[in-house]
């Protein structure tokens, strides 16, 4: 994700933090300062935020390890102000698998809350509870706050609305009876109705609910479109979308040659060859960066992407949808019997989906 910085690895998975997470820390410091808290109290507040930071990582690891059990790898985990995001290589398709993977995150929070409860004495009534929680985070209420937040995170994530875990749990349950794309539509609509409720309540109470509502509406729409696209690709292979006409440039040519072709053709991504063999790809952004930083005479070999992605022509499009979709600025090479027969990029795949979508609507209209 753009704007993210790598912190390291956890269980072999890259851990990133988005720059906006720092805004949360600054906001906490500002609120504590405005409340008249001293340095010690502010330090306890920051320590608490960092503990939640660890909780979010563990939550996402729960998803990652559950997915790993089904042979699904996790690309990375990114921490955002609103939570974490574990990017799986692909989403589990079987309802029972998605159910377990989706449940794994909230179960981590419930486990942490249960574990913390052994070290915390919960006040007997609401008045005592509010008294203990007042005055900000301190050594006396740190664990109690930690317990409450983990319970809140579990409950929040179990709300049956995309992109929360509850939305995926609801879809998985519906998918036992309906096809996946239908289950997604139903789950998305339920989530969006809840989101409208959040927005309405937010106008009269907590404005943060408005943000949550908008977030849910957008997430549900994206999930619906994504699942619908995969459904339209069902039964089709790379052979159906392979581009047999593509532009090649020799790796030893200067960047200015790529600029000439960029301006003189429809191509935005080029296949780079050396001795007639593919050695890399070069897209428009890489051309501009190379021109800006190294000049127009720098060899293409110094600016190209050397990580080639190969696809078998008989591979099902639904199986590689995530791969192609997330390689938006790259050109993938299509192979048949160990011979290069064409290329594929995200734009071409999306055009194929659009055509199928229009044809499907036309069939219904007729």
Task: Please identify every residue annotated as catalytic.
Answer: 60
The burial of 306, by beta-carbon neighbours within 10 Å (0-12 exposed, 13-18 middle, 19 or more buried), is given as exposed
316 and 339 Cβ atoms separated by less than 8 Å: no
Q: How far is CA 14 from the centre of its chain?
A: 13
Q: What is the 3-state secondary structure (H, E, C) of the chain?
A: CCCEEEEEEECCEEEEEECCHHHHHHHHHHHHHHCCCCHHHHHHHHHHHHHHHHHHHHHHHHHHHHHHCCCCCEEEEEEECCEEEEEECCCCCCHHHHHHHHHHHHHHHHHHHHHHHCCCCCCCCHHHHHHHHCCCCCCCCHHHHHHHHHHHHHHHHCCCCCCCHHHHHHHHHHHCCCCHHHHHHHHHHHHHHHHHHHHHHHHHCCCHHHHHHHHHHHHHHHHHHHHHHHHHCCCCEHHHCCECCCCEEECCCEHHHHHHHHHHCCCCEEEEEECCEEEEEEEHHHHHHHHHHHCCCCEHHHCCECCCCEEECCCEHHHHHHHHHCCCCCCEEEEECCEEEEEECHHHHHHHHHHHHHHHHHHHHC
- Tell whether 63 is in a known binding site: yes
Structure tokens at 87: 């990017």
Q: Compute the Cα dihedral for 232, 236, 237, 242 and give only its sign.
A: negative
337 and 318 Cβ atoms separated by less than 8 Å: no
- Tell whether 59 is in a known binding site: yes
Structure tokens at 60: 């996402």
- Tell whether 326 is in a known binding site: no
Binding residues for Zn(2+): 59, 63, 165
Binding residues: 59, 63, 165
């Amino acid at each position: 994700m753009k704007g993210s910085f790598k912190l390291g690895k956890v269980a072999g998975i890259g851990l990133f933090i988005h720059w906006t997470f720092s805004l949360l820390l600054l906001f906490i410091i500002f609120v504590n300062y405005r409340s008249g808290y001293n340095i010690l109290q502010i330090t306890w507040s920051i320590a608490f935020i960092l503990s939640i930071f660890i909780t979010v990582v563990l939550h996402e690891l729960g998803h990652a390890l559950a997915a790993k059990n089904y042979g699904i790898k996790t690309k990375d985990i990114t921490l955002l102000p609103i939570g974490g995001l574990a990017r799986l290589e692909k989403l589990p398709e079987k309802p029972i698998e998605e159910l377990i993977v989706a449940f794994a995150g909230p179960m981590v929070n419930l486990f942490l809350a249960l574990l913390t409860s052994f070290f915390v004495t919960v006040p007997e009534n609401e008045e005592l509870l509010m008294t203990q929680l007042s005055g900000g985070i301190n050594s006396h209420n740190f664990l109690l706050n930690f317990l409450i937040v983990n319970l809140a995170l579990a409950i929040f994530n179990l709300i049956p609305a995309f992109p929360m875990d509850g939305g995926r749990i609801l879809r998985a349950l519906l998918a036992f009876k309906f096809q996946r794309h239908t289950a997604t539509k139903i789950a998305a609509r339920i989530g969006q109705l809840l989101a409208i409720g959040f927005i309405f309540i937010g106008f009269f109470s907590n404005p943060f609910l408005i943000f949550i509502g908008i977030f849910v509406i957008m997430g549900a729409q994206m999930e619906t479109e994504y699942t619908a696209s995969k459904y339209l690709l069902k039964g089709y292979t790379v052979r159906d979308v392979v581009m047999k006409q593509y532009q090649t440039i020799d790796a030893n040519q200067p960047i200015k040659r790529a600029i000439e072709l960029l301006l003189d053709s429809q191509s935005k991504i080029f296949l780079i060859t050396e001795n007639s063999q593919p050695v890399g790809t070069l897209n428009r952004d890489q051309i501009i960066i190379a021109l800006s930083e190294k000049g127009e005479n720098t060899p293409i070999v110094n600016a190209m992407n050397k990580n080639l992605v190969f696809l078998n022509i008989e591979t099902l499009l639904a199986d590689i949808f995530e791969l192609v979709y997330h390689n938006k600025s790259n050109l993938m090479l299509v192979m048949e019997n160990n011979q290069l027969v064409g290329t594929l990029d995200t734009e071409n795949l999306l055009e194929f989906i659009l055509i199928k979508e229009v044809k499907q609507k036309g069939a219904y209209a007729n």
